[in-house]
Structure 1
Amino acid sequence: MAQRLQEEWLDGKFLIAMPNMADGRFAHSVIYVCAHSSEGAMGLVLNQPSPHLSIADLLLQLSIVREAEAINLSPRLRRMNVHRGGPVETERGFVLHSDDFLIESATLPIHDGICLTATLEILRAIAEDRGPSRAMLALGYAGWAPGQLEHEIQANGWLTGPADAELIFDPDQTAKWERALWRIGVDPAMLSTDAGHA
């Protein structure tokens, strides 16, 4: 089983936390896996918006816009949430976005038209309405050492499934966990919090 898992890299897939997730930071989380290899894994939590930081606040803090400009951000940009992408490097920003915007040597194409860019340049482009048509911004990321994610999956910590761009970029955070489970054919009400413990 471990050998089979190691051959199936999860780049571009969802990790969906099981109800018995031991790490409270990931309870009911949906993570988009950006990179997965024998060297470990990295992903962004999609359903934990930062409650005290708006996109306008962030752009002001980074000196990307001035206060007068922050007032006039487009409605589309104002609807964009700043997410807590995970507990690692929480001051660092990551943008998951559509592949209609690329920065040479900075944008990582992941899978099915989803890319990752972690530069101030993409935030400037988004603020000036010349960035990607779809984007999700996160501070920090979730990271796993070699073999750690595979172990957590085998221990019933996570379900995996194909990613869904609609879910990734939907600004409505309501029930993303439940929606991700339904997408892979799992009824959230049928999941036991004691899964895997006989």
Structure 2
Amino acid sequence: MVSLAPGILLIADPFLKDPNFARTVVLLCEHQEKGSFGFVINKPFDQSLDELVPEILVNNIPVFFGGPVQMDTIHFVHQQPDLIEGGFEINAGIYWGGRFESVVTLINEGRLDLGKIKFFIGYSGWSSGQLENEFNEKSWILSDTDAALIFDEKEQNIWQQSLKNLGNNFAIMANFPIDPSLN
């Protein structure tokens, strides 16, 4: 049984109406009594990293909408702790954060595997007890982390694939319409 903890995936219930989280998958990075936070991993942002950070010399590195909180901040998760110092391991081989200045240098020098890092603008946050309440209200389905999904280049498949990975009972949900009353 998966429980709320750093490193798990929160898969939005098919009928979750909140426009920030409809059909999303959130990587939970921290979960404590005082609150929780994570990043939406499957919602592309409309600007690339070089458009947001002028020091980045490589064009078209995707950025994702991490969530509606502090939309003036950039965050990242990665699988390259040997190159990026200061990150926190949130699950086996998956790290959150680190020295952003070194990330900029590594990107510009072509030394970073861009398939093993994902950037976010903003984050998803919950106050004390809020995420537990949403889980109890069945807004979220919990899943173990799947690094292949987190760093998947086909973000439009992540929500459906996350449900399918949970087995037949959930796989059927992956094809539910957003609004069943329209069927």
Distance in 2, Cα, partners of 1:128 & 1:101: 12
Letter in 2 for 1:128: E
Which position in structure 1 is the counterpart of 2:6?
11
Write the deviation string for residues 139-185 of structure 1: whole angstroms up to 9, x where unpaired.
10000011110110010100000111111111222221101111112
Query: Percent identical across equivalent pairs?
Result: 31
Question: Aligned pair in 2 of structure 1 residues 192, 38: CA closer, same or farther (>3 Å)?
Answer: farther
Residue pair 1:81, 1:171 contacting (<8 A) in 2 also: no
SS in 2 for 1:34: strand
SS in 1 for 2:45: strand
Q: What's the TM-score, normalizing by structure 2? A: 0.84
Q: Is 2:88 the partner of 1:108?
A: yes
In structure 1, what is the Cα distance between the partners aligned to 2:51 and 2:16?
32
4+ residue stretches of structure 1 with deviation over 6 A?
A: none
2:124 pairs with 1:129: no
Structure 2 match to 1:166? 148
1:49 equivalenced with 2:44 (yes/no): yes
Q: Does 1:182 align with 2:177?
A: no
**Are positions 1:117 and 2:97 aligned together?**
yes
TM-score by length of 1: 0.78
User: Is the 8 Å Cα contact of residues 12 and 163 (structure 1) preserved in structure 2?
Assistant: yes
Q: 2:72 — aligned with what?
A: 91
User: Equivalent residue for 2:25?
Assistant: 30
For residues 119 and 25 of structure 2, the distance between their equivalents in structure 1, rounded to whole angstroms, comes to 15
Larger Rg: 1
Tell me how far 1:193 sits from its aligned partner: 7.2
d(CA) in 2 for partners of 1:171, 1:190: 21
In structure 2, relative to structure 1, the CA distance for the partners of 1:138 and 1:170 (3 Å cut) is: same
How many residues are treated as equivalent by the alignment? 173
Verify the 8 A CA contact 2:27 2:40 in the aligned structure 1: yes
Rounded to whole Å, the distance in 2 between the matches of 1:111 and 1:130 is: 24
- Conserved 8 A contact 1:86-1:139: yes
Give 1:69-80 correspondences, 5 Å limit: 70=57, 73=58, 78=60, 80=61
RMSD of aligned residue pairs (Cα, Å): 2.4
Distance 2:162 2:121 in 1: 22
Unmatched segments (≥5 aa) in structure 1: none
Of 119, 136, 139, 1:154 maps to: 136
**Is 2:42–2:158's contact at 8 Å kept on the other side of the alignment?**
yes
Aligned to 2:14, the other structure's residue is in SS state: coil
